[in-house]
């Protein structure tokens, strides 16, 4: 039982066919996509027979100050392979990306957490409100300029 | 004549004996039936991810103890694996074996808590819980021999473990293993075919495999739905590629299966511990590393383990400094809670507590 890693290049090739204008760049480890195309990228990878990313491991958000980076760790349980999709979100006032909750329900709490702590809003999320902190809390603590 | 009824909203928790910590769930009942569910989290939020950015790589180990405080050994291990991946180092074999051994003892301890509380929530107040705690206490005593702490162990360190086991640890472990065999058998006889337990849990709150995958569920909950997925097998870390063990799978994904899978996993963990004891050889337990570690700028690592509750992952990003630039914690308990609504909707008040218990969450890990 070995685990394969789907390279960013393979993902990019597949995505360029199914979701035009979504791919920004790629390397061995990951593919970068446009934040507003994340929803269609998600369903493309979820429904693709070869890639078959039915399982979302984790969504991480990193504050690189000049942009936010979202990292999606994905797995196909049937094909025993993993892959990484990333997306750069620019702007500090109203950063936003498309939600993937419609494809992977497991993204629900994670996207809410990223909105709460990192301040990246997910459009299309059915319940986009704070999860760890209370409504009315000022700021997003995981941002580098919070503290 | 019909009686007029109206839905009623009840807050279960955050102070409730059966929510496993400070979990709160707003439930709307129609009579006894659950019609609406809304989990409310965050009462134990301590900002572990932010705190990690202010500490050096070794100091962060102590933060991981406080995530899922019923399986601190496994949390330490997951974090250390991520750091090792970041630095490109590998601990010596004895360190790997000690980690595997302690992780499996911790899994037994954690599953014993899960099973004990699960049965307590079914109404068997006190007695079965004390049976499981009796054995768990012995494991915590063993941990105390290893590192001086019972819960907040911080035993794994980047590059190995904190210290070798003292000489009297091994006879004590042998004694525990032989005693626990009988205690586990007693527990199995008491619970596995218990008629009341089966009637209350079989067929209740089933979780179909496709829903489980879509909700990113992991660990015993995923395997109870019949999906063969265990990171110890899929991507073996530490000494897991050296030991033989089976992955127990449920069939229906109902409350009974989730409980049953945990009971079986205790047996498998026992098997792994025995093999570790037989295979471990003398040698160094930790690499010689500087006290303050630095990773290359831009280095990233996603270290994951099969923790007692599911996939525990640490995503570390380095900027070349002495502490992680970002330390994201993928906690199994938080993501397993995604299925709360699916498990509870349409079921009755009396099953609610049991279904929540069958997911086995830990709020230290949910809120972080």
* Tens place of pLDDT per residue across chain B (368 aa): 788 878 888 888 787 766 677 888 889 988 888 998 988 888 889 889 999 998 989 999 999 998 888 889 999 999 999 999 989 899 999 999 999 999 999 999 999 999 988 888 888 888 888 889 999 999 999 999 988 888 899 899 898 898 888 999 999 999 999 999 999 998 888 888 888 888 888 888 889 999 999 999 999 999 999 999 999 988 898 889 889 999 999 888 899 999 999 999 999 999 999 999 999 889 898 888 888 888 888 889 998 899 999 999 999 999 888 999 999 999 999 999 889 888 888 888 888 888 888 888 888 888 88
> How far B2 CA lies from chain A's nearest CA (Å)?
37
Tell me whether residues A1 and B233 touch, CB distance under 8 A. yes
Is the CB of B235 less than 8 angstroms away from the CB of A58?
no
> Chain B: nearest CA to A75, how far in angstroms?
10
B361 within 8 A of B309, measured Cβ to Cβ: yes
Confidence of residue A1 (pLDDT cuts 50, 70, 90): low
Contacts of B278 (CB under 8 A, 6+ apart): none
Predicted TM-score (pTM) above 0.80: yes
Q: Which ipTM score applies to this complex?
A: 0.89
SS3 category, A60:
strand
What is d(CA B354, CA B368) in angstroms, rounded to the nearest whole number?
24
Distance CA(B315)–CA(B303), nearest Å, equals 7
DSSP string across B292-308: S--PPTT-EEEEEEEET
Q: Which residues contact B29 (CB under 8 A, 6 or more apart)?
A: B7, B8, B9, B10, B35, B349
Instruction: Give the residue on A whose Cα is nearest the Cα of B304.
Output: A57
Torsion of CA B277, B60, B220, B133, to 10 degrees: 70
CB atoms within 10 A of CB B84: 20
Give CA angle at B265 (B261, B267), nearest 5°.
125
CA–CA min distance A63, chain B (Å): 8
3-class secondary structure, B53: coil
**Chain A residues 22-61 within an 8 A CB cutoff of chain B:** 54-58, 60-61
Query: Model confidence over A29-78: pLDDT tens digits?
Result: 888 998 888 888 898 889 888 888 889 999 999 999 889 999 999 999 88
Does the beta-carbon distance from B315 to A71 stay under 8 Å?
yes
User: Cα(A58)–Cα(A64) distance, rounded to whole angstroms?
Assistant: 19
How many degrees, rounded to 5, is the angle at CA A142 between CA A136 and CA A146?
70
Give the number of other Cβ atoms within 10 Å of residue B30's Cβ.
12
A147 contacts B50? CB cut-off 8 A: yes
Q: Closest Cα of chain A to B45: distance in Å?
A: 6
By CB atoms closer than 10 A (0-12, 13-18, 19+), residue B297 is exposed
Q: Does A3 contact B at CB distance below 8 Å? A: yes
Secondary structure of residue A137 in the 3-state scheme = coil
Q: Do A109 and B334 touch (CB under 8 A)?
A: yes
The residue written with tokens 């979302």 in the block is A56
Across the interface, whether the CB atoms of A58 and B234 are under 8 A apart is answered no
Helix (H, G, I), strand (E, B) or coil at B35: strand
CA B34 – CA B3 distance, rounded (Å): 19
**Is the Cβ pair A55, B234 closer than 8 Å?**
no
- Write out chain B residues lying below 8 Å of A57, CB-based: 216, 304, 311, 313, 330
**Is A90 an interface residue toward B (CB < 8 Å)?**
no
Per-residue model confidence (pLDDT) at position B217:
92
- The structure tokens 């079986």 sit at B264
Residue with tokens 């000049």: A66
């Amino acid at each position: 039982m070995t685990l394969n890693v789907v390279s960013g290049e393979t993902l990019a090739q597949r995505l360029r066919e199914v979701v035009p204008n979504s791919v920004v760049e790629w390397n061995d480890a990951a593919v970068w996509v446009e934040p507003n195309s994340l929803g269609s990228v998600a369903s493309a990878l979820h429904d693709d027979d070869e890639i078959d990313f039915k399982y979302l491991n984790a969504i991480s958000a990193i504050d690189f100050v000049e942009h936010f980076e979202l990292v999606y760790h994905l797995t196909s349980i049937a094909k025993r392979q993993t892959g990484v999709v990333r997306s750069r979100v620019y702007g500090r006032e109203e950063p936003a990306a498309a939600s993937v909750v419609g494809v992977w329900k497991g993204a629900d709490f994670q996207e809410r957490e990223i909105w709460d702590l990192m301040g990246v809003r997910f459009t299309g999320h059915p319940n986009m409100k704070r999860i760890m902190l209370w409504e009315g809390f000022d700021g997003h603590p995981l941002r580098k300029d919070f503290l | 004549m019909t009686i007029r009824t109206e839905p009623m909203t009840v807050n279960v928790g955050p102070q409730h004996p059966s929510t496993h910590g400070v979990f709160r769930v707003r439930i709307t009942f129609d009579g006894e039936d659950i019609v609406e569910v809304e989990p409310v989290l965050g009462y134990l939020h301590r900002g572990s991810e932010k705190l990690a950015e202010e500490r050096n790589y070794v100091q962060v180990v102590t933060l991981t103890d406080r995530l899922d405080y019923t399986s601190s050994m496994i949390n330490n291990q997951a974090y250390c694996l991520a750091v090792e991946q970041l630095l490109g180092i590998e601990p010596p074999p004895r360190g790997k074996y000690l980690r595997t051994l302690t992780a499996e003892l911790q899994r037994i301890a954690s599953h014993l808590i899960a099973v004990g509380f699960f049965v307590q929530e079914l109404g068997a107040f006190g007695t079965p819980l004390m049976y499981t705690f009796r054995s768990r206490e012995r494991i915590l005593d063993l941990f105390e021999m290893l590192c001086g702490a019972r819960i907040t162990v911080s035993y794994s360190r980047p590059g190995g473990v904190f210290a070798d086991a003292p000489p009297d640890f091994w006879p004590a472990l042998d004694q525990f293993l032989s005693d626990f065999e009988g205690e586990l058998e007693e527990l199995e006889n008491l619970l596995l075919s218990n008629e009341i337990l089966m009637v209350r849990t079989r067929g209740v709150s089933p979780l179909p495999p496709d829903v489980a995958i879509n909700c990113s569920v992991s660990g015993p909950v995923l395997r109870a739905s019949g999906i063969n997925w265990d990171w110890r097998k899929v991507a073996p870390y530490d000494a897991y590629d050296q030991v033989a063990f089976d992955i127990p799978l449920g069939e229906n994904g109902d409350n009974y299966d989730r409980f049953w899978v945990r009971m079986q996993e205790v047996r498998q963990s026992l098997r792994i511990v025995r093999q570790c004891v037989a295979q471990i050889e003398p040698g160094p337990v930790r690499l010689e590393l500087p006290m303050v570690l630095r990773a290359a700028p831009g280095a990233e690592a996603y270290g994951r383990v099969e923790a007692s509750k599911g996939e525990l992952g640490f995503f570390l990003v380095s900027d070349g400094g002495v502490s992680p630039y970002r330390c994201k914690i993928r906690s199994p308990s938080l993501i397993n809670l995604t299925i709360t609504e699916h498990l509870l909707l349409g079921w009755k008040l009396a099953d609610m507590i049991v279904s929540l218990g069958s997911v086995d969450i830990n709020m230290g890990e949910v809120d972080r």
